[in-house]
């Protein structure tokens, strides 16, 4: 049987957890391994300030708090995304304006954003679906012109880039005012449940540390900048345990090996299935971090049939994302616009298993048996 | 050197984490170890439904969401508590009415609650300081008479009980409508950062599962009660990784040994220091779970001097909780009442190191050298 996903130990995860307990004597948040991970991210991809979180959802919630989202504020985001993109902002009272997907890609249609901007718009949340960049120059230009903030939901986009028309290459998550990553077990780099907030606009750095540590100025205290710490703001316990950070650090040490292997698997899928399905589209301005290999069926019926046939062969592909604008929770709050491409990807997209230790030959064989 | 706290491995933490990865193939939330822990808590202490969370703060936030706390709603809680007790409710817009501590104990004065109740009061949040029960009969009686809900912040109160006037013994966290625990590294049972929500009032069970899983009805789906899951409510990613649950499960398997040892250390402190300090007060209706050993100095100056002298001897006691009503964040929002006992504990309380592998003789020796 080939499951959809399988977590793995690169080598040192358990050693580092033991070290956190026995050598550092510290397994709550913000210890040695948290700092190692955060520095690594800052140095490798140019994020101004990184804070690990317990999930990408929590990182998105920090964005909603940092941007002072209040009841009635509007936030623009794709409909074809994980529910966390929306709930983080809705928890603060935001009204979400959903954007359709592109024709050629499940990511949001950048050219449908501007028409949704109103005086109440506070933020655009872009989602780099499958780790494939949105057209960030187009989006940042809109943001500048209308003075709204941009949050990159880069949950799937670690080690992926946007290359603008002048050839400048920027890591996803480093372009918007704020960026969010996930280290959920299905991600390239993982620690079970986990996430990270990247603060690229320096005005948010100081407050982000306060929100992270339950509304206290503990971070400043530990840096010796103040002589006593206390309660100064709202916040939550956004920081993860050192147990998770230690696990993540072991994965990061193996980043190159993980990424090389995933890219090989992705290329193998791409070559073997090019006669059966059209290849996942990657725009010129985007790179491929091999987070996901998806195929598109023509109809919901075909997809249902395909998944069933795959399962019969012991292979477990999955579909995902139900357009949020037609969900039970939001359908009566949505403004009524049709978002046909989001609905099409909802019905037709299938993700093939893709994990570090996979034997993708068996998946390919199973797919070819179906067609 | 004896630190204030030191986490420890009981024996199987790393084995269970390995098992989660390699045997279960599942390190995101709500896997085998999460269910094991939750069932153990439900069966051992009579909580109706348990959900592990990433922190006690998050469990408290779930309470605020379940109770539909809205801007302007009032919540009553002690001032002498951790900031999380307050921020979880304030994040939803609550106005907090702070209660003073008791004369004989840092816990809230149960007899000062009723006068704070107004038509806007939605909840009373009790904090079982040091794992020592508040007088729950008194509090539940007020709650019934005024139709407000009771949340037990039992962060420190695992394996501790309230015994009412009729001799009925009830686990802390199982008496209020909702209860919250912490598994932070300083707690008796730990997983770095972690918590748990206990739902004792059945009306909240179904929605708690939805909030826990990002506003989706995924739990019902996996139980086969519905055939498709989707977005139905607000929520967050409150559930912890199986990595943390596996760690916690190893600790729970050693609960008896941990509790016996902590109680011995506590008794040892109590005997050895009874001539120097008055003993921590434990009311007749409360049990002692040996979470904390604290002593009370007479003044802030004495405490500062005492802590300095202890540190010179290589022992690290800590003071804690700054009265929340005088904090930078809340002092202008507080209603102006003086809370002198909360302020006294803020100035005078010192926690001695207390952890599984401690050599408490050295701490006792250091204390006696100071007096």
Domain locations in chain A as residue ranges: 13-253, 255-370
The helix or strand, by DSSP H or E, that contains position B170, with its residue range, turns out to be: strand B169-171
Residue A237 sits at the chain B interface (C-beta within 8 Å)? yes
Residue B35 C-alpha, separation from nearest chain A C-alpha, in angstroms: 16
Give A-chain residues touching B241 at CB under 8 angstroms.
Answer: 185, 191-194, 244
Residue A188 has pLDDT above 90, yes or no: yes
At B39, the pLDDT band (50, 70, 90 cuts) reads very high
Q: Retrieve residue B42's tokens.
A: 């439900």
pLDDT in tens, A70-118: 999 999 999 999 999 999 999 999 999 999 999 999 999 999 999 999 9
Res. B32: pLDDT tops 90:
yes
The structural architecture, per CATH, of the domain A13-253 is 3-Layer(aba) Sandwich (3.40)
For residue B174, give the nearest of B62, B48, B37, B59 by alpha carbon. Answer: B48
> Which pLDDT score, from 0 to 100, does residue B288 have?
98
Compare CB distances from B329 to A20, A233, A237 and report the shortest one's residue.
A233
Can you give B233-278 as a three-state secondary structure string? CCCCECCCCHHHHHHHHHHHHCHHHHHHHHHHHHHHHHHHHCCCCC
Q: Residue A226: its pLDDT value, please?
A: 85
How crowded is residue A320: how many other Cβ atoms within 10 Å of its Cβ?
Answer: 15
User: Would you state the pLDDT for residue A192?
Assistant: 98
Residue A22: its chain B contacts at CB < 8 A? 9
* Cβ-defined contact of B27 to A192 (cutoff 8 Å): yes
Q: Is the pLDDT of residue B128 over 90?
A: yes
Task: Please tell me the predicted confidence (pLDDT) of residue A228.
Answer: 81
Confirm or reject contact between A190 and chain B (CB < 8 A).
Answer: yes
A176-194: average pLDDT:
98
Q: From A240, which residue of chain B is nearest by alpha-carbon distance?
A: B193
Task: Kindly state whether A215 is in contact with chain B, defined as any CB-CB distance less than 8 angstroms.
Answer: yes
Residue of B226, B228, B220, B206 whose CA lies nearest to A327: B228
Q: State residue A271's pLDDT score.
A: 97
Closest Cα to residue B133, out of B179, B89, B184, B198? B179
What pLDDT is stored for residue A224 in this prediction? Answer: 85
Q: Which residues of B touch A230 (CB under 8 A)?
A: 322, 327-329
**Side-chain half-sphere CA neighbours of A116 within 13 A:** 29
Rounded mean pLDDT, A269-289: 96
Does A85 contact chain B (CB < 8 Å)? no
Quick one: average pLDDT of B269-275? 96
Task: Give the torsion sign (CA, B323, B324, B325, B330).
Answer: positive
pLDDT digits (tens, 9 = 90+) for B286-312: 999 999 999 999 999 999 999 999 999
Q: Does A353 touch chain B (CB under 8 A)?
A: no
pLDDT at residue A349 greater than cutoff 90? yes
Topology alike, domains A13-253 and A255-370: no
CATH class held by domain A255-370: alpha beta
Interface test with A, best of B23, B236, B326 (most A CBs within 10 A): B236
Question: What number is the average pLDDT over the span A248-268?
Answer: 98
Model confidence pLDDT, tens digit, residues B137-180: 999 999 999 999 999 999 999 999 999 989 999 999 999 999 99
Cα separation of B172 and B161, whole Å? 5
Mean pLDDT score, A5-19? 96
Q: Check pLDDT > 90 for residue A281.
A: yes
Please give the pLDDT value at position A221: 86
User: Could you report the predicted ipTM of this complex, rounded to two decimals?
Assistant: 0.97
Residue indicated by tokens 């000062």: B112
Residue B239: φ, ψ to 5°: -85, 140
Whether B52 contacts B240, CB under 8 Å: yes
Quick check: A229 pLDDT over 90? no
| A54 contacts in chain B (CB < 8 Å) | 54-55, 58, 193, 237, 240
- Paired with A334 in beta bridges are none
Measure the CA–CA gap between A292 and A129, rounded to whole angstroms.
Answer: 9
Q: Do B83 and A215 touch (CB under 8 A)?
A: yes
pLDDT confidence of residue B106: 98
Inter-chain touch A191–B243, beta carbons under 8 Å: yes
Answer yes or no: is pLDDT of A338 > 90: yes
Supply A353's token pair.
């298993």
Name the pLDDT band for B224 (thresholds 50, 70, 90).
Answer: confident
- Summarize the confidence of residues B240-260 as an average pLDDT: 98
**How would residue A294 be classed by pLDDT, with cut points 50, 70 and 90?**
very high
Burial of A169 (0-12, 13-18, 19+ CB in 10 A): exposed
For range A183-212, the mean pLDDT: 98
pLDDT in tens, B72-106: 999 999 999 999 999 999 999 999 999 999 999 99
pLDDT of A232 higher than 90: yes
């Amino acid at each position: 049987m080939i499951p959809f996903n399988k977590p793995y130990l690169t080598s040192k995860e358990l050693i580092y957890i033991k070290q956190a307990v026995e050598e550092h004597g510290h397994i709550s948040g913000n210890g040695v391994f948290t700092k190692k991970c955060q520095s690594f991210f800052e140095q490798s991809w140019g994020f101004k300030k990184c804070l690990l979180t317990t999930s990408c959802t929590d990182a998105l919630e920090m964005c909603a708090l940092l941007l002072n989202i209040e009841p009635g504020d509007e936030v623009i985001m794709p409909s074809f995304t994980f529910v966390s993109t929306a709930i983080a902002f809705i928890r603060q009272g935001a009204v979400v304006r959903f954007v359709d997907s592109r024709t050629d890609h499940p990511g949001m249609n950048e050219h449908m954003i501007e028409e949704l901007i109103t005086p109440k718009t506070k933020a655009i949340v872009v989602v780099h679906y499958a780790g494939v960049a949105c057209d960030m120059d187009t989006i940042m230009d809109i943001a500048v012109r209308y003075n709204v903030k941009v949050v990159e939901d880069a949950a799937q986009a670690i080690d992926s880039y946007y290359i603008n028309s002048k050839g400048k290459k920027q890591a996803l998550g480093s372009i918007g005012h704020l960026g969010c990553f996930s280290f959920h077990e299905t991600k390239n780099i993982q620690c079970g449940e986990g996430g990270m907030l990247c603060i690229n606009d320096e005005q948010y750095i100081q407050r982000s540390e306060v929100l992270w540590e339950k509304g206290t100025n503990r971070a400043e205290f530990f840096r010796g900048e103040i002589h006593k710490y206390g309660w100064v703001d709202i916040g939550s316990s956004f920081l993860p345990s050192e147990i998770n950070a230690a696990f993540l650090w072991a994965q990061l040490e193996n980043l190159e090996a993980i990424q090389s292997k995933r890219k090989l698997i992705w290329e193998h899928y791409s070559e073997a299935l090019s006669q059966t399905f059209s290849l996942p589209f990657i725009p010129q301005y985007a790179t491929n971090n091999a987070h996901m290999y998806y195929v598109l069926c023509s109809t919901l019926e075909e997809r249902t049939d395909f998944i069933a046939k795959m399962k019969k062969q012991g292979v477990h592909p999955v579909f995902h994302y139900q357009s949020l604008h037609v969900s039970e929770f939001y359908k009566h709050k949505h403004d009524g616009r049709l978002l046909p491409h989001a609905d099409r990807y909802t019905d037709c997209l299938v993700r093939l298993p893709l994990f570090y230790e996979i034997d993708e030959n068996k998946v390919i064989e199973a797919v070819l048996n179906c067609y």
